[in-house]
Structure 1
Amino acid sequence: MADKKAAKKDSVEKAAPPTSDQPAEMPPAKEPDAGKTDINFSAGLAGFLAANNISLGFTSYQTGRLYLIGSGEDDKLALHEAQYPQAMGVAGDNERIYLGTLTQVVRMENVLAPGQTANDVHDKVYVPRNMQTTGNIDIHELGIRKNGRMVYINTRYSCLCEPDIKHSFKPIWKPEFISKLAPEDRCHLNGLAMVDGEPKYVSAVCRSDVVDGWRDRRHDGGVIIDIDSNEIMAEGLSMPHSPRWFDGKLWVLNSGSGELGWIDPGDKSFQPIAFFPGFLRGLAFHGNYAITTLSKPRHQRFDGLALDDKLKEKDADAWCGVQILNLQSGDVAHWLRLDGAITELFDVCVLAGVRNPITLGPNSVEIRDFITFN
């Protein structure tokens, strides 16, 4: 098992933006202060990413940031962040990242050719090339179909959507128990599992069909739904998030109890395999590892969940960060912890074949003069 001793903070390599041949004509724009945050991580995290030839992307709607971590020079952990208001669902690969934000869905393209680097260190530069405005529909998780089209969870209107060239969104499915599309966040539809390049399963906090009804069903109203058959695959969950199809199983985060597990297709029961000290949102897999994001519970809104009792039982405080679980041993192999201003994260994705990525925020100074053409 990996050494859990936190590496020194000065071993974090903060990514610099790509250089430009042209000086900026305007003074630097000052981004909103995200507040002071202490970053600690397991000593082997950078080596793990390098050995597996992956980087991770994760989001925080609270701070409005997309974070990318990879392996930098001298075995340092490379960390980069870019401002995207209310950054939520994220999906990507070595050439493209999709991100849901407060009012838009963003498509970022890697502009570097194979073998090219930026600043001699970054092997990928993801630049926002398309930003489609949806309005505030509370986009949660999203996925990419095998035909390249994006689909996403529209939580405010309780439906699954795809972008529309003219309108805010094009609904393609809603739960049978939702009687109409209305901006009322009735069941808190939130998670999406893709299977063979098509949307297959979703998670919802309950089956409510009234405005904001999910808040009264947080303890045991959660369901997983097969969108092809409308069959309820599991119920009685506590605020489930992030269903995923991996290794022939339907996995899900039972966030209200802090557990990762899978759904037994025989009796449709939730089979927990690991407890995490935090409110779980965001799940990705790579090889024999499960990667999830943890948040500190929002009190008042989320008081009284089983997670609170489990934290007391284990004499533990809730985390904000990322943990990487070895599925074979059940142990946490690596982790990254954020303490301070950041208390909530949302989604996470694996960027396979990517060593040290960077992205330019749409309102950053650098993007004004970072020009590429074919």
Structure 2
Amino acid sequence: MAKEKPAEAGKSVKASQKNTTNPTQAAPPTQPDAAKIDIDFSHGLAAFLAANDISLGFTSYQTGRLYLIGSGPDGKLALHEAQYPQAMGVAGDSERIYLGTLTQVVRLENVLAAGQTANNVHDKVYVPRNMQTTGNIDIHELGIRKNGRLVYINTRYSCLCEPDIKHSFKPIWKPDFISKLAPEDRCHLNGLAMVDGEPKYVSAVCCSDVVDGWRDRRHDGGVIIDIDSNEIMAEGLSMPHSPRWYDGKLWVLNSGSGELGWIDPEDKNFQSVAFFPGFLRGLAFHGNFAVTTLSKPRHGRFEGLALDDKLEEKDADAWCGVHILNLETGNVAHWLRFDGAITELFDICVLPGVRNPITLGPNSAEIRDFITFE
């Protein structure tokens, strides 16, 4: 496939707007060092995002970044990023993004009104407006309830939580096999599926109830659990991540084997749909497309799995990047690939109705003087 180069970010961004006398001003965050990180992507990726009227948000805890990709007015791919320590779970829409980090849950708001643009090209500017401090509880995936309240996976304490106004977190559910809340990452609870605006399914690497017990069960100890009934919906998986309810099916990433698939409700078996050349975490859907992030297997924890054998069988190297899969054909429609200093990504979300977003990090030079008011 032909390669395109990302559009370069300008040094400053000025807002243009309609029917308002309250101008805003912003600047995009610093881009990754091109000498250390190479970015390639499929021809037509920008056009695909534009045609579907979407952008993508994804994270890398390794580099501590929230990335946003969209389509610029010049038809090129636009990539913007902001620094957040250990950026993990991400969930959002056209007006708001929630992000889990090393010690906080961050709420970012789009500060542009309808018809307003920044620098005449950016239709959304996501700015951190609330940072709820949790401490290092290893936040993984997030969900937004129909009442607007946030829920998230607390991996270190093996439970599902929501923010608390006074304490680090408020536990609202834990697996039956977890005897108590302890900072021991016993089963590596990690993924969350929302159904009709409520948390419904979670993924875990195993059913261990001892400290760090999941490490010895990486090959086939993985389970999907129904939160309401505590029923094991599927077992025998290899490091499952990112369960999602979509189009009447319970989808999941069988990360240890590099596969996307769904759970058959009759026999509770995993039905593989596609193989990807990387360790999978983070899954989103849009129309007939599934979007997922790939990572290179980390030394130790993510090595020695079936994924290694499949990569050797296919004479392929592991990727770090994003794949967009056409569910009708089973083919990869578009992709984005990182090489160099970045080797791992985590979560991803689709931002519908967003063309070319930017975001400001809480410690960026620009945010000090970026002031908006109602």
Q: TM-score range by the shorter chain?
A: over 0.9
1:166-217 CA distance string (max 9 Å, x none) = 0000000000000000000000000000000000000000000000000000
Q: Does structure 1 residue 208 correspond to structure 2 residue 202? A: no
Tell me the distance in 1 between the aligned counterparts of 2:30 and 2:282: 29
Q: Does 1:12 align with 2:11?
A: no
Q: Check 1:23–1:94 CA distance in 2 against 1; reply closer, same or farther (3 A cut).
A: closer
Q: CA separation in 2, counterparts of 1:325 and 1:62?
A: 25
Q: Is the 8 A contact 2:24 2:371 kept in 1?
A: no
The 5-angstrom pairing of residues 227-306 of structure 1 reads 227-306=227-306
1:322 pairs with 2:317: no
Distance 1:22 1:284, change over 3 A: closer
Closer, same or farther: CA 35–129 of 1 in aligned 2, 3 Å: farther
Query: 1:225–1:23: structure 2 CA closer, same or farther, 3 Å change rule?
Result: closer
Aligned-partner residue type, residue 284 of structure 1: A
Segments of structure 2 that go 5 or more residues without pairing to the other structure are 16-22
1:359 aligns with 2:354: no
8 Å CA contact 1:91, 1:142 repeated in 2: yes
Report sequence identity in percent.
86
Q: TM-score, normalised by structure 2?
A: 0.95
Which residue does the alignment assign to 1:124?
124
Q: CA deviation at 1:7?
A: 1.7
Partner of 1:60: 60
Q: Which amino acid aligns with 1:133?
A: T
Partner SS, residue 74 of structure 1: coil
Structure 1 alignment gaps of length 5 or more: none
Distance 1:192-1:35 versus aligned 2 partners, 3 A rule: farther
3-state DSSP class of the match of 2:349? strand
Cα 1:277–1:180 shift into 2, 3 Å: same
Aligned to 1:175: 175
Asked whether the equivalents of residues 224 and 235 of structure 1 are also in contact (C-alpha less than 8 Å), the reply is yes
Q: Name the structure 2 match of 1:225.
A: 225
When residues 17 and 96 of structure 1 are mapped into structure 2, their CA distance, relative to the original with a 3 A threshold, is farther
1:85 counterpart residue number: 85
For the residue of structure 2 that corresponds to 1:300, the secondary structure is coil
Check whether the contact 2:294–2:345 (CA below 8 A) recurs between aligned residues: yes
Q: TM-score, normalised by structure 1?
A: 0.95
Task: Return closer, same or farther for 1:191/1:314 CA change in 2, 3 Å cut-off.
Answer: same
Give the distance between the partners of 1:268 and 1:85, measured in 2 at CA: 37
Residue in structure 2 matched with residue 308 of structure 1 by the alignment: 308
The answer (yes or no) to whether the contact 1:22–1:369 under 8 Å persists in 2 is no
Displacement after TM superposition at 1:300 (Å): 1.9
Alpha-carbon distance in 2 for matches of 1:61, 1:225: 26
Q: What residue identity is the alignment partner of 2:158? A: S
Taking the TM superposition and a 5 Å limit, the aligned residue runs for 1:180-195 are 180-195=180-195
Q: Which runs of 4+ in 1 moved over 6 A?
A: 20-24, 29-35
Q: Secondary structure at the match of 1:354?
A: coil
State the alpha-carbon separation in 2 of the partners of residues 23 and 338 from structure 1.
30
Q: Distance in 1 between matches of 2:69 and 2:9?
A: 10
Contact 1:13 1:76 in 2 (8 A): no
